[in-house]
C-alpha cells in the first residue's frame, strides 16, 4: 500500500468527506504537507462552525482530531475577503479559510495551500490540467498552484522586509530570546504575506538545544506577531548542483513548534539569500523535521521578485464526528487505562445505553461499503463536547456478534499513534454522565500509514477468540 500523495492519481470523491453544517454533522479530511497537518472541511457556502473555541477543540491533539491548522474550503463569493479578490481575480473560485490551531485567523499557509489544492481535486470540485494552474484565494491574496515532480508548486508572491530601513542598514532588525540558548540572537524579519523572523545559527548543536514549545521573545515584535525560524546553513552553502541548502526548525504563532512551515521555509531562504549577497543561488532545498521542500526565486510579472514553494501533499483519512449521547457511569473516578491487546481496566464497566449502541452499529453499517468494516468506538468525555478520533475493527471474522457490541461500548484506553491520529482502543470506561463527540475515521485506500490496522485486527481477533473460549468453559 502507498500514501495518497499529490504525485499519485487523485482519489475519487469520498461520500464521507465533504459538506458542512452543524458541528455534529461535520465531515472532514485529515491531510498534511511534510508533516504540517490540517483538518480540511468542504463548506461551499461558509455556513459551518469556525469560531475559535470550536477550531481549538478540533485541533487539540489529546481531546480532538489533532492538527496544526483548520481549513475550510469556501466559495470566494460566500466570504467578504473572497468577494474582494474576485473583483480582480475572477478565476479564484475557492477561498482557503485558514485558522491556526488555537482558533486565531491566519493570512495563509504555504504547506496548507498545496494540501488544500489536492483536497479540492480529490473532492471533484476543481480541476488542474497538466500545464495549467489553479487559483486559490487567501487572506494574503490569490495563490496559483501548478503540478510539480514532487507534488505541487505554489507561486507564493513577492517577499519583503517587515522593517525595511533596519534590514537594509544592518542586515538584521530584531533580537530573539530563544529557550536553551544563552544569549539573544540577531534576526531578520521577512513577510511572505504573513510575518516571519529568521535567526541564523552557526551549528546544528544550537539548533537541537533550542526550546521551541514556548514562543521565542522577539524585540521589536512585528505588528501582527510573528513566526520564528531557526536556520543552520549548509557547509558549503551551495552544492555542486548550484542549489543552496538549509536546515530549519520553526515555532508558528498560535500553534507552537511544527514539523514544517511552507511560508517559513520561503522566508528562511529569502533571509539567507540576502545575507549571502550577490551570486547567491535562486534555487534552495530546505530540510524541516517533516521532510524537504523546494524554494525558488524568480522575477514576477510586476517586476518584483516572487517565491515559489514546492513539495508533497498527502490526504491521510476522512472522518465523520458524531455527537455522543449521555453514558451512565459509576461515578467521578478516573478511568483505568486498558491495554489494547490484553484488555482489562476498571472492574466496574460503564456500558452505553442500547440506543447509543444501536446508533453506532447503524453508523458502522452505513459506512461498511466504503470503509471496509471499520466502525466507531465510543468514549465518554469528562466535560464539554469534544472530538475523539477513534477506530476499531468492526466484528472480526469468526468473532461472536457480542464482540461487535462490546467494541461499541463506552471505551477509554491507551492512545496509539496511527497516521497522525490518537487512536483509542479499549473496551471499558468509568466516567460520570457526560456528552462528547465520536469521530469515525475512514482510512483512504492504498496507504502504508494505516498498515498498523492489520495488527489491530489481529489483536481484536485474538481477544475475540479468548472471550469465546472463556464463554464455552464457563469463565
Question: Catalytic pick from 59, 109, 380, 410?
Answer: 109
Task: Confirm if 118 and 313 have CB atoms less than 8 A apart.
Answer: yes
Closest CA to 157 of 134, 135, 140: 140
Which phi and psi angles does 473 have, rounded to 5°?
A: -90, 0
| Collapsed DSSP state (helix, strand, coil) of residue 156 | strand
> Is 109 considered catalytic here?
yes
Beta bridge partners of 417: 422
Side-chain half-sphere exposure of 199, counting CA atoms within 13 A: 28
- Indicate the length of the chain as a whole number: 475
Residue 455 CB contacts under 8 Å (≥ 6 apart), including other chains: none
Task: Confirm if 2 and 446 have CB atoms less than 8 A apart.
Answer: yes
Question: How far is 294 from 292, CA to CA, in rounded Å?
Answer: 7
- The C-alpha R_g of the chain, in whole angstroms, comes to 24
Question: Catalytic pick from 261, 266, 389, 410?
Answer: 261
* Full DSSP string of 376-429: --B---SSS--EEEE-EESS-TT--HHHHHHHTSB---EEEEETTEEEEE-S--
Residue 98 CB contacts under 8 Å (≥ 6 apart), including other chains: 69, 70, 71, 105, 106, 107, 108, 109, 112, 138, 139
Which phi and psi angles does 84 have, rounded to 5°?
A: -65, -40
Beta bridge partners of 94: 75, 136
Question: How far is 438 from 26, CA to CA, in rounded Å?
Answer: 12
> 10 Å Cβ neighbour count for 346?
19
Residue linked to cell 514576477: 300
> Is 59 considered catalytic here?
no
Alpha helices in 160-240 (DSSP H): 164-170, 204-209
Catalytic positions: 109, 261
Amino acid at each position: 500500500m502507498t500514501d495518497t500523495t499529490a504525485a499519485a492519481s487523485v482519489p475519487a470523491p469520498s461520500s464521507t468527506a465533504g459538506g458542512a453544517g452543524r458541528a455534529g454533522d461535520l465531515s472532514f479530511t485529515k491531510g498534511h504537507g511534510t508533516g504540517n497537518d490540517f483538518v480540511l472541511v468542504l463548506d461551499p457556502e461558509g455556513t459551518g462552525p469556525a469560531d475559535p473555541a470550536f477550531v481549538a477543540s478540533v485541533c487539540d491533539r489529546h481531546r480532538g482530531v489533532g492538527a496544526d491548522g483548520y481549513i475550510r474550503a469556501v466559495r470566494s463569493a460566500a466570504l467578504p475577503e473572497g468577494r474582494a479578490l474576485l473583483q480582480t481575480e475572477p478565476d479564484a473560485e475557492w477561498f482557503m479559510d485558514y485558522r491556526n490551531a488555537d482558533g486565531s485567523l491566519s493570512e495563509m499557509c504555504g504547506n496548507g495551500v498545496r494540501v488544500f489544492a489536492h483536497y479540492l481535486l480529490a473532492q471533484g470540485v476543481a480541476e488542474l490540467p497538466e500545464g495549467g494552474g489553479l487559483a486559490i484565494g487567501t487572506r494574503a491574496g490569490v495563490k496559483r498552484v501548478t503540478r510539480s515532480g514532487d507534488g505541487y508548486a505554489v507561486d507564493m508572491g513577492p517577499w519583503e522586509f517587515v522593517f525595511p530601513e533596519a534590514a537594509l542598514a544592518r542586515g538584521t532588525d530584531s533580537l530573539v530570546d530563544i529557550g536553551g540558548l544563552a544569549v539573544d540572537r540577531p534576526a531578520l524579519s521577512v513577510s511572505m504575506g504573513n510575518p516571519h523572523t529568521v535567526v541564523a545559527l552557526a551549528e546544528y548543536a544550537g539548533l537541537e538545544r533550542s526550546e521551541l514549545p514556548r514562543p521565542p521573545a522577539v524585540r521589536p515584535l512585528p505588528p501582527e506577531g510573528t513566526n520564528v525560524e531557526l536556520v543552520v546553513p549548509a557547509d558549503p552553502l551551495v552544492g555542486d548542483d548550484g542549489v543552496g541548502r538549509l536546515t530549519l526548525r520553526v515555532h508558528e504563532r498560535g500553534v507552537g513548534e511544527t514539523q514544517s512551515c511552507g511560508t517559513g521555509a520561503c522566508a528562511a531562504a529569502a533571509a539567507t539569500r540576502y545575507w549571502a549577497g550577490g551570486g547567491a543561488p535562486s534555487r534552495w532545498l530546505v530540510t524541516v523535521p517533516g521532510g524537504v521542500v523546494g524554494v525558488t526565486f524568480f522575477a514576477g510579472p510586476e517586476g518584483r521578485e516572487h517565491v515559489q514553494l514546492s513539495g508533497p501533499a498527502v490526504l491521510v483519512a476522512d472522518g465523520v464526528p458524531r455527537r455522543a449521547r449521555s453514558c451512565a457511569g459509576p461515578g467521578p473516578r478516573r478511568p483505568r487505562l486498558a491495554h489494547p491487546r490484553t484488555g482489562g481496566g476498571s472492574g466496574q464497566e460503564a456500558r452505553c445505553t442500547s440506543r447509543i449502541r444501536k446508533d453506532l452499529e447503524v453508523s458502522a453499517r452505513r459506512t461498511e461499503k466504503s470503509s471496509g468494516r471499520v466502525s466507531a468506538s465510543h468514549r465518554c468525555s469528562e466535560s464539554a463536547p469534544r472530538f475523539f478520533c477513534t477506530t476499531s475493527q468492526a466484528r472480526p471474522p469468526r468473532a461472536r456478534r457480542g464482540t461487535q457490541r462490546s467494541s461499541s461500548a463506552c471505551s477509554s484506553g491507551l492512545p496509539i499513534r496511527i497516521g497522525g491520529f490518537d487512536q483509542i482502543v479499549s473496551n471499558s470506561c468509568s466516567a460520570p454522565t457526560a456528552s462528547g463527540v465520536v469521530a469515525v475515521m475512514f482510512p483512504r485506500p492504498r496507504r502504508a500509514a494505516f498498515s498498523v490496522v492489520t495488527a489491530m485486527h489481529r489483536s481484536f481477533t485474538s481477544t475475540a477468540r479468548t472471550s469465546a473460549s472463556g464463554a464455552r468453559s464457563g469463565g
